[in-house]
Structure 1
Amino acid sequence: MQCLRPLHHSGAHTEGICTEFKLFNDSLYCVMNCPLNTKLSVFCPGDTLVPTHWDDMKGSFLKLVNLSPRFREYNDVKAECVKTGINLTIVEIEQVQNETLWKNYQIQKKQMEEKNNHYNNERLLLFHGTSSNSISQINNHGFNRSYEETHGVEIAIGSYFAVNPLFSPRGYVPPDAQGFKRMYLARVLVGDYTQGHPGWIIPPDKPSGRCADLYDSVTDNTSIPTTFLIFNDVQAYPEFLITFN
């Protein structure tokens, strides 16, 4: 990872490669080595910086942006829905901008990359259906496995996310008073996963034999997954809220 925009350094050289990550003022920063392998006291912003395509937060930690059908993000989300084969009429798509949730998600991503020794931990664009009563809670505080309902399909106890909303145990949710339904298209860190089992409240040990080396998530089918479940709420970020009927 190349470091740019250093916040503090104790030497003249300010370019290098991140060799370790540190938490500093609730954000993730990297410590660099220069090409001569002399460690510098250099801290630079890591991936906890908010995405460049976000609207100006204006000092707020949460902002919902109603996307115009002219926006690329709107059409990308719509394309994800269409390719699943689900028949729905999109009423609106909102981009959820929550700075705290985003930073926590990125910190978790870095920790999983170090733990698993690979970068293939993120499974983008998984669906999570929910009732209108849970929208404010999720937008402000993220997904919460304590509120999950399985609707008769259980691979463990946690937060469920589906590759296709038609396969999701929460894919069919009750409409609100206006007849609208809602689901999220979320970023999810599935990491290293295994087959789930009813009643599990934590993931099982990996076969590595290392102490406390657990799987990151579980699924209904390791060969062709249709549903993933995470046990750690910060492993998912509610990126888009889709209202449909």
Structure 2
Amino acid sequence: MSIVIGYVKLYGSKESVTEVENEYYREQAKQSEQARLMAIARDIIWAFEKDDKNWEKYVPELNALIEDAYTSQLETFEYTDDKSIEYIIDLKQNIETCINSQQQRLITRHVDHGLPPHWQLQTENVARFSLDENSDEYKDARGVFNKTMSNKYDTILRIERIQNKQWYTQYNSYKSFSSKKDTERKLFHGCRQESIDLIINSFFNRSFAGVNGTVYGQGAYFSANASYSHNYAKPSTQNSERYMFVVSVIVGKSTLGNTNMKIPPAGFDSTTDGDHIYVTYRDDQAYAEYLIVYK
């Protein structure tokens, strides 16, 4: 065999060369099909309803086959799972039926607009999901929290992943087109219980500025130290729970702020105390990834 840029030369008997050539094309077709399946799974997600508001994605191969049937305008699609159980999907009514038991469940088709692949499927714009304590995602979020939290708390009750599609899309767009994307940092924002839904649904809106002071500017405040943000995570009067967001922030170029600043000076993206506090002035400059509930 001789490899030249752009092509491969094979030497041997006619039969052996033909066999290798056929195997090459089979492998090429296999890789192309696998790439197609994964491309579809990135952009189009088919899922079935497990229970109220919880959906499970089909595996990539089956996801692509369902999408092929859908785009071919077929009314139904049949398949057999890895346990040899047969199903039929009504693509008009979005219902899947188990042929053996006749049990039915809803299915949905979701067009993915660049959302994180580890997110759970959601039908609404905003959703919150408690993380499994044994998952790497939970352990990573807890590790970020503990790194600067010292001994300020007794126990973490839960960590929730925040899935706000509109907010994430805006943040990701700002990050993608910003020349300061390499300044993304994981920061913290402690708050009272009554502020949680406002933040999750309305972002770190600058109209909230001033609730905890405006010493370094009239924007949204974050700290690199969880132990500092803990001071603003006042315990709930109902159950003594405290709340802190782990936030991805594009700090960009930062300058020392003061109480009169409504926007950063020209050429700057945020203001700071010169140490661990950062103040942002754009709604799409920060995204709350997790809410940590603790005591």
Query: What TM-score does the superposition give when structure 2 sets the normalisation length?
Result: 0.58
Equivalent residues of 1:66, 1:95 under 8 A apart: yes
Shift of 1:73: 1.2
CA distance in 1, matches of 2:184, 2:113: 15
> Match of 1:62?
126
Q: Considering only CA atoms, is the larger Rg found in Structure 1 or Structure 2?
A: 2
> Match of 2:197?
136
Question: Given the alignment of the two structures, is residue 81 of structure 1 paired with residue 134 of structure 2, yes or no?
Answer: no
How does 1:97-176 map onto structure 2 within 5 Å?
97-113=163-179, 118-123=180-185, 125-149=186-210, 151=212, 154-168=215-229, 171-176=232-237
Q: Return the structure number with greater helix share.
A: 2
Q: What SS is found at the alignment partner of 1:120? A: helix
> Match of 2:92?
none
After superposition, the Cα gap between the structure-2 partners of 1:153 and 1:144, relative to the gap in structure 1 and judged at 3 Å, is closer
Gaps of 5+ in 2: 1-37, 44-111
Provide the identity percentage. 32
Tell me the amino acid that sits aligned with residue 144 of structure 2. E
Equivalent residues of 2:210, 2:218 under 8 A apart: no
Query: What TM-score does the superposition give when structure 1 sets the normalisation length?
Result: 0.69
Aligned length: 186
CA offsets 1:43-78 (integer angstroms, 9 cap, x no match): xxxx96010111111x22111110111111111111
Q: 1:49 aligns with which of 85, 102, 114?
A: 114
Tell me the amino acid that sits aligned with residue 111 of structure 1. F
Greater RCO structure (CA 8 Å; 6+ sep):
1
Shift of 1:176: 3.6
CA distance in 2, matches of 1:170, 1:109: 29
> Match of 1:216?
269
Tell me the amino acid that sits aligned with residue 217 of structure 1. S
CA offsets 1:28-49 (integer angstroms, 9 cap, x no match): xxxxxxxxxxxxxxxxxxx960
Equivalent residues of 1:168, 1:227 under 8 A apart: no
CA distance in 1, matches of 2:258, 2:248: 23
